[in-house]
Structure 1
């Protein structure tokens, strides 16, 4: 933490677009390709239910942990690298430019390991001083989750804990689980890739460069 202002991003759906799955759904489906027919069916049903919003957060975490229990660590990295390929040069440069005037962080309900590999693939890992979400830890060759942000309100709590260190805070997210964070920021921006409208009451941007430019303009004004 060295700069006077802070920009906090969500990860899934914000730093990259869904095509059509988020990073955790993609990881589960990729892992399923290495397994038998029954596991592949369970994976498809799990992802389908998740996309329909069938789980509360604790239910999702429990099932997700089971699905990735014996996932190959190399597949976690590959999944993130593939998602990084969805970004163009202009997206990467927009983040790098923003990092010249503000500290950058990620507060997410997603998986920290995926976010870290994603940023590393883009050459942006050093631009982010903080990444909080769920961390995959390994014990005796098996994967377990450590939940650092378990609910949307936890994003607000973490943001407020950082407030004393910064003059201005901008938050950028893509959906309902980001609302507490967007409300708590000095400026909350909604980033929905390619969107023209949203029912959520926040300033809407349809690209990463647009959102980053708006954040930069606010911070230097």
Structure 2
């Protein structure tokens, strides 16, 4: 990680706008980190725990209520958190599910200021089809991915650590691109680690993101 010790105040996060379609997204200014996950993975609870708000992201006992791409500004600045539609359980027509999936894919593929994705995975049920799809996409596209093993409070400490190590072992060939941690919204476990990862993505020097372009333009001498 970068040695940049600056930090954003995620408790100063506020709602900006919701988009039902990609063309309704706000201008691509600043950097964005998107939160993705199956509908029962605890995405809204994690966002609320990170920001210290019980109302920032809507939580529901009915999985799949997040049907829009929701944008939030941090410190009233240009950097944004993005809550992507939950995938899975929503009781809506199949055509509507396919439409959500299309807009989700368009956002991930075409949003130019997306710098990282946080994938929320229920620690008791890794890895489901959607999780594997997101991991494969991140590897193929070179998009940094940080996996939260949510609801870690549901397992005993030893079992949770074992699940963490098992997933890290599965992904060890991609450890420079994909990181994994334990997280519990209920017990507030892992918030500092998540905040540090977000700081790295938002605040890393611009040169780090441009190094590939620079190398392509100016090949190293023999």
TM-score by length of 1: 0.41
Structure with greater contact order relative to length (CA < 8 Å, sep ≥ 6):
1
TM-score by length of 2: 0.40
Structure (1 or 2) with the greater helix fraction? 1
